[in-house]
Structure 1
Amino acid sequence: MPRADNAGVSIRYEVDAPDAGDADEAVVFCGDVGLGAWQFGWQHAALAGPHTVVTPETRGVGRSDAPPGPYAVEALASDIDAVCADAGIRNAHVVGYGLGGMVGLAYALASSRPASLTVVGTPPSGASYNSEGVWADPSAPAAVEGSLRGLLSESFRETHPDVLSRITDWRLGEDADRETFEAHRAAVEGFDVSGRLYEITTPTLVVHGAADAVCPLTAAETLTDGLPRGESLVVEDARHLVGVEASAAVNDALAGWLAEHADDPFAE
């Protein structure tokens, strides 16, 4: 599988549907704090094929290198840029979850490569993000299963117990250990673009669960209002893993968003 080098840090990534759409344009996923690549499954299934999809493993997670922390969002953004350069991606439609959304915002400030952003459960400042609400010790099955009570709504948990079982298995096998989680959390805590939102002219879709206990809805509203080209999708009753429990609505919005902003004439 391909790897990109960023100043000696090796980032593993996968490319799916490489012949879809323009050869140098792709959807690029950016992951949440401490979570494995399983988090992308619901949107990946909908987007790969209509689009080329690039899935990096965040530094410290999976088979990417795990240099000592703490990490910074800017470093994680430079990892994504290294992946895009290695894969020959000129226009990246970045889809970021939580910390990954922060990475997308920082990337748009640093580079003209992002053609659009979709940020899910993302604030303009890490001060509004409860990283501990995402954490579950991947060596403790009961803790992992219990963490889903805060990440998915009660109604979803009651009607989709099979999904909960699969997510638990994936988290046990793919999520970061505590050391990497703390390195990711440091990146969250050091992140703040609330005073620079007016500089992010990249079109940005802000997706949020109205009942998100990790990142409050007010933070998403502040983010949308501050972005020159921000639009929002709020899903009532959904929690932080809104892309899981409301995958149909999120995927429909993403498909429309990408259709609108592919080859965006306003992109730099």
Structure 2
Amino acid sequence: MHVSVDGARVHYGSVGAGDPVVLLGEAGFGPWQWGWQHDAFAGPYRVLTPSPRGHGDSTGSPDSVATLAGDLDAVLAHADVDRAHLVGFGLGGVTALHYAREFGRARTLTLVGTAPRGEAVDADAFRALFADPADLSGLFTDAFRVARPDLCEQVAGWRREEDAEPSVRAAALDACRAFDAGPLYELTTPTLVLHAVDDPVVPMAVSAELGDGLPNGRFEAVAGRRLAHAEFSAAVNDEVLGFLEAHPLD
């Protein structure tokens, strides 16, 4: 499915039934990044997966977080969703933060690897993640890559097929770097902040500051690197599903 917004075509998927959960992905990565969450969430929930501008089948440029938040609202309206749980990773996390401030459909936020201000994002470390699709050292721990070479080979293939073009990644990174969440005490949406202890892109201390600064926020550290929600998906999924269950839609 898709919706047209200011000349751009924004594509999204919708699977399952129940309260809506929206998966908002990191800059540059294709839909494969949610492969460890999608089926787990689509049982008890309706899962929506919008592709940011320039990613997947969506057109246009991800030139600002405000634009992406507006696209999200258009997707939810098109999908006839009044209230939803937002689960955002990186770029998706800052989009969710902006959305919660400017729009009224967010019931909860789950923020993974998310910085409340763009200056905290290590641009060089982010770019290094995409230097070689087969180099997964920034995404997974050494132990995982040694134990699961088969899956790592699959991930490298998915990256070659689905990840966004360099110009799109650059625009999305610029959008992230320009973002500032503003005064955190004003954001009262219940929020779960998850962050990998060895994330090369966003320091864990910055994410902990985000969780502690939100009036209804809670911070949890997760083992792993940038894709900790994939490598340690069982623990992460249990944490997120428990959080969502504790905050049903009004």
Distance in 2, Cα, partners of 1:59 & 1:135: 19
Which 4+ runs in 1 deviate beyond 6 A? none
TM (norm. structure 2) is 0.96
Q: Which residue of 2 aligns with 1:85?
A: 77
Q: Which residue of 2 aligns with 1:248?
A: 234
Contact residue 60 and residue 180 of structure 1 kept, 8 A: yes
Q: 1:27 aligns with which of 21, 37, 41?
A: 21
Q: CA deviation at 1:136?
A: 6.3
TM (norm. structure 1) is 0.89
Alignment length, in residue pairs?
Answer: 250
Deviation digits for residues 213-259 of structure 1, max 9, x if unmatched?
111101111101110100122113x1111111110000001110111
Distance in 1, Cα, partners of 2:89 & 2:162: 16
Letter in 1 for 2:234: A
Q: Which residue of 2 aligns with 1:46?
A: 40
Q: 1:235 aligns with which of 216, 222, 231?
A: 222
Q: 2:176 aligns with which of 188, 199, 205?
A: 188
Q: CA deviation at 1:130?
A: 2.2
Q: CA deviation at 1:9?
A: 1.4
Distance in 2, Cα, partners of 1:37 & 1:189: 22
Letter in 1 for 2:4: D
Q: CA deviation at 1:131?
A: 4.0
Moved more, 181-190 or 158-167: 158-167
Distance in 1, Cα, partners of 2:163 & 2:126: 11
Distance in 2, Cα, partners of 1:136 & 1:210: 18
C-alpha RMSD of the superposition: 1.5
Letter in 2 for 1:109: R
Q: CA deviation at 1:132?
A: 4.0
Contact residue 84 and residue 249 of structure 2 kept, 8 A: no
Identity %: 42
Letter in 2 for 1:96: G
Q: Answer yes or no: is 1:169 the counterpart of 2:181.
A: no
Structure 2 residue ranges without an equivalent (≥5): none
Distance in 2, Cα, partners of 1:222 & 1:120: 13
Contact residue 29 and residue 40 of structure 1 kept, 8 A: yes
Q: Which residue of 2 aligns with 1:257?
A: 243
Distance in 2, Cα, partners of 1:55 & 1:36: 11
Distance in 1, Cα, partners of 2:8 & 2:188: 30
Distance in 2, Cα, partners of 1:154 & 1:250: 19
Q: CA deviation at 1:109?
A: 0.3
Matches within 5 A, 1:12-161: 12-17=11-16, 20-21=17-18, 25-67=19-61, 71-135=63-127, 143-146=132-135, 148-161=136-149
